[in-house]
Each structure stands twice: as structure tokens, then as C-alpha cells.
């Protein structure tokens, strides 16, 4: 194979890997919110969840779409915020 072809194949493989990670995080975010709502626990600010969903789906990004690092970062932040809502003051009061 030519060096140019090798670079293209590696770039496509890395982009596919980044897309897979972003989609996996998106699915985890949606499942985490669903599980928290079913359990009757707070899910954090609604705008965090919907903002992450819109940022992931809309074509306007900080970085071009083949580079999903910004999408991954936004999804991780939203997932962390949803998980962090479990440590809020309501959870500590209910354990007393």
C-alpha cells in the first residue's frame, strides 16, 4: 500500500472509533436519565441533558464532525452532571 492510502485508512479507522465512543456515551446518557427518572431521583438540570443531545445531533460543532472529541466531552459532562445529581442534598437527607 502507498503511504497516503495507509494514512487515509488509519484516519478513517480513528474517526470510526471516535464515533463509536460518542454513540456509546450518548446511549449511556439517555439510559442514565431514564433510570434516574424511573427511580424517582432528581435528574439534574433539564437543559444539561437536552443541550448535550442537541450538541451531539446538530451539525454545528466546535471541531469538525470527523473529530468527535468535543461531542464526547459534552456527553461526558452531561453524564457526570446526571450522576452528580445523586449526591445532592436530597439523597443525604433520605439516608438519615
What are 50-90's pLDDT values in tens digits? 888 888 777 676 666 667 777 888 888 888 887 776 665 55
59: in domain: yes
Domain that holds residue 84: 3-89
60: in domain: yes
68: in domain: yes
Q: For residues 96 and 82, which has the higher predicted lDDT (pLDDT)?
A: 82
pLDDT of residue 94: 45
Number of domains in the chain: 1
94: in domain: no
33: in domain: yes
Cα within 13 Å of Cα(61), Cβ side: 18
Q: Which of 34-38, 48-52, 92-96 has the lowest mean pLDDT?
A: 92-96
15: in domain: yes
Most confidently modeled range among 32-36, 57-61, 62-66, 91-95: 32-36
58: in domain: yes
96: in domain: no
pLDDT over 50 (residue 96)? no
Cα within 13 Å of Cα(80), Cβ side: 6
Which residue shows C-alpha cell 485508512? 9
Amino acid at each position: 500500500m502507498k503511504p497516503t492510502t495507509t494514512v487515509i485508512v488509519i484516519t478513517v479507522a480513528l474517526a470510526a472509533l471516535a464515533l463509536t465512543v460518542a454513540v456509546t456515551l450518548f446511549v449511556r446518557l439517555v439510559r442514565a436519565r431514564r433510570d434516574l427518572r424511573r427511580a424517582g431521583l432528581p435528574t439534574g438540570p433539564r437543559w444539561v441533558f437536552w443541550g448535550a443531545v442537541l450538541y451531539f445531533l446538530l451539525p454545528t460543532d466546535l471541531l469538525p464532525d470527523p473529530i468527535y472529541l468535543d461531542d464526547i466531552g459534552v456527553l461526558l459532562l452531561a453524564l457526570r452532571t446526571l450522576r452528580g445529581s445523586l449526591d445532592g442534598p436530597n439523597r443525604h437527607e433520605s439516608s438519615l
